Chain A
């Protein structure tokens, strides 16, 4: 089969690895990290635009390297080519290899900040895309410059307090981490924030099944031309609407 892959760049290394091993010809396209910062509807619009740019009659399916991603994939409509999307809340589930594993880990490890290769190296220097996230990555000095000493300090305190709500940084290891730089960077981030650090073995099998055309109903939604992918608000995460 010839397949088109539209994926978040956070999964860049993992997707390239999966594509390289696929028996099919996969044409990948990566969209910027941070689309989910725009919020569900604006992100959905951007992803739909990417789908709509895909030429007709060339591919047997358009694969999506995403999960529901904060409703960023909610409402995605298949035009002339069917769409395939993993039944995942987000990329962390994909990297862990199953939504059940993610659910279990998430519930047992509240206050966990997740990192992977893409979460560390992609999207650096990203412009703040939306008024919902403006200010969150600013340094104390920048906030003081903008808002004065008193208000600047107050804002820094308020906007970084979430860090104390997290207890652990979990780095999801997939074996694609060349050298030790990713582990070192993740460990340093954990230490900087006073969090504990865990290396969790990931599992790329789910991503591989996406690009290998192994789309079991329990793991993927497939939207035929004219159908829409929607959040289902149940364990299956997604459903298809005619």
Chain B
């Protein structure tokens, strides 16, 4: 029986080869794909987030942990689909129009995936119409908007207004984040939630899809 604690360790340590190897062995031994995600990947990424909060981990460490988590998910994802297991939620994520910053958004996307979400990542400089199209066609209940500049933050409002104009505002929860974003701003533009960090984003996402 593979020691799945080694998978947890591999993610924490950012060792993607070990993560993949333990995952393969576990699947071969009959461990359920869902167990791998909820029992090991999710807690490991939660721990990574915690370490970033306490400034033990920095962006490079988070990127490496995400890489290890993704290596495991590569193996697990098709198996999960085959079992018909539903993800915790479906989230469309992107950096808003005019803004090219994406590392923070990428980290959140990785952590959401590690948290059991199906993530549709639209990249950066995403126009409101693309968010709407993706949410509608992929049946996503959650939209996550990122911006890193106060200059581009207004695109968050435009995006939310576009969902409203398209008659789809009631079908999705919209959460916002990024360095200059505040709870105050989120409230002012009618977002459903704001999170201050990648780890907090996962917790918020879970809360929003549970409603």
Contacts and interface: CB of A to CB of B under 8 A. Distances in A.
Interface in B33-67: 52, 55, 57-60, 63-64, 67
B180 interface: yes
B60 A70 contact: no
Given A68-B150, A71-B150, A106 B67 contact: no
A35 to B, nearest CB: 13
Given A154-B64, A158-B103, A233 B58 contact: no
A133 B55 CA distance: 12
B193 interface: no
B16 to A, nearest CB: 8
A154 B180 contact: no
A135 B153 CA distance: 26
A151 B64 contact: yes
Contacts of A143: 60
A40 B124 contact: no
B98 interface: yes
B149 interface: yes
Contacts of B125: 110-111, 165
A162 B58 contact: no
23 contacts: A70-B149, A71-B180, A90-B150, A103-B151, A110-B125, A111-B100, A131-B52, A131-B58, A131-B59, A132-B59, A135-B58, A146-B60, A147-B60, A150-B17, A151-B67, A154-B67, A158-B106, A159-B103, A165-B100, A165-B102, A165-B124, A165-B125, A233-B185
B103 A135 contact: no
Q: Could you tell me the dominant secondary structure of chain B's interface residues? A: loop
A193 to B, nearest CB: 13
Contacts of A106: 98, 151
B58 A89 contact: no
Contacts of A162: 100-103
B149 to A, nearest CB: 7
A187 interface: no
Interface of A: 39-40, 68, 70-71, 89-90, 102-103, 106-107, 110-111, 131-136, 143, 146-147, 150-151, 154-155, 158-159, 162, 165-166, 231, 233, 237
Contacts of A231: 150, 182, 185
Nearest to A152: B60
A107 B100 contact: no
B98 A136 contact: no
Contacts of B179: 39-40, 70-71, 132
Contact of A131 (B55, B63, B124, B154): B55
Given A106-B98, A136-B59, 4 more contacts: A71-B179, A110-B100, A131-B57, A155-B63
Nearest to A67: B150
B149 A89 contact: yes
A224 to B, nearest CB: 23
B94 interface: no
Nearest to A113: B100
Interface string B114-142: 00000000001100000000000000000
Contacts of B150: 68, 70-71, 89-90, 231, 237
Contacts of B154: 233
B82 interface: no
A210 B14 CA distance: 50
Nearest to A128: B58
B211 interface: no
A43 to B, nearest CB: 11
Given A39-B179, A71-B182, A159 B100 contact: no
